[in-house]
A = this chain, B = another copy of it.
Amino acid sequence: MIESLHSPHVGRVKALIGSKGAKERREQGLFVAEGVQCAREALTSSNGPQLKILYATENGLSKISELDFGSVEIVEVSDAVMKAMSDTVSPQGLISLCYKPESTFSELGATGRSTFIYLHEIQDPGNAGTILRTADAMGISAIITSPDSVDMFSPKVVRSTAGSLWHIPVYEGVAFDRVEKQFPGIKKFLLSSHARTSILDLTIPGDCIAIFGNEARGVSAADLGVEVTEVTIPMAGRAESLNLSAAASIVMFTLSSKVAG
């Protein structure tokens, strides 16, 4: 059991979740997922990020004792070490050090009923994680992010996804012209508060991609350099706009019922 706060394990985990974590994660190809839900997914999912080391306190291990640990490297740590490694106020006693999945955008295919989400320069980790989680629930095929979007493997995003990173593929840093080139005929629509077409009236003839812009600035067709259908969420009330993840949840739900229906 590791009890020393000076252990290199502690330094490694802290580096991956710290202020320079994005650079560390990119260079090392690793990220950190905290909590029971992520440990469960990491141990049982055949898809998604592969587990490198599971750091666990005795209490943490007791929460997943029914699982088969297989050949996973488990490193037991003291409560104090767990606290030092953790990004949360009340650690659950389980930290999964995982390999960042290597997803190559050029290998992403479409089935004719694929639904993709494109996040353009999204910054808020809570929004990004919640969108990914809802996307998973709604059966979205993949999440694609633009350059200069929030790192989808940062601790706050990972926490907000509640394990969905193991269910839905993520392609990061993809400029929109690459999407356009790879899926030339795809139905593209963009959420805009100025649009006249309601998402309820949208028809989805085949593959489609829903585009969401930055929380403050949004995104326009001109920014993307392509023609898109602008759509809006019909609102009976008075708020000027919705929180981004609330808006995205409504769009994905509508999309999901249209594709299924």
**Chain A interface residues (CB < 8 Å from chain B):** 126, 130, 133-140, 160, 162-164, 167-168, 200, 233-243, 245-247, 249-250, 253, 256-257, 259-260
Contacts and interface: CB of A to CB of B under 8 A. Distances in A.
Contacts of A250: 249-250, 253
A173 to B, nearest CB: 24
A200 B233 CA distance: 17
Contacts of A200: 257
Nearest to A248: B246
Contacts of A160: 243
Contacts of A235: 137-139, 256
A162 B237 contact: no
A133 B239 contact: yes
Contacts of A257: 200, 234
Nearest to A161: B239
A216 to B, nearest CB: 12
Contact of A134 (B140, B162, B239, B253): B239
A167 B236 contact: no
B126 A238 contact: no
A134 B238 contact: no
A164 B239 contact: yes
A242 B247 CA distance: 14
A130 B235 CA distance: 15
List 10 A-B pairs, minimum CB-CB distance, nearest first: A139-B236, A139-B237, A137-B239, A136-B239, A246-B249, A137-B235, A250-B253, A130-B243, A167-B238, A134-B246
B137 A242 contact: yes
A256 to B, nearest CB: 5
Given A136-B237, A234-B257, A246-B246, 4 more contacts: A126-B126, A137-B235, A137-B242, A164-B239
18 contacts: A126-B126, A130-B246, A133-B243, A133-B246, A134-B243, A136-B237, A136-B238, A137-B235, A140-B237, A163-B239, A163-B240, A164-B239, A167-B237, A167-B239, A236-B260, A242-B249, A245-B246, A247-B249
Contacts of A234: 256-257, 260
A219 B145 CA distance: 36
Nearest to A253: B250
Given A126-B126, A249-B246, A250-B250, A137 B241 contact: yes
A32 to B, nearest CB: 21
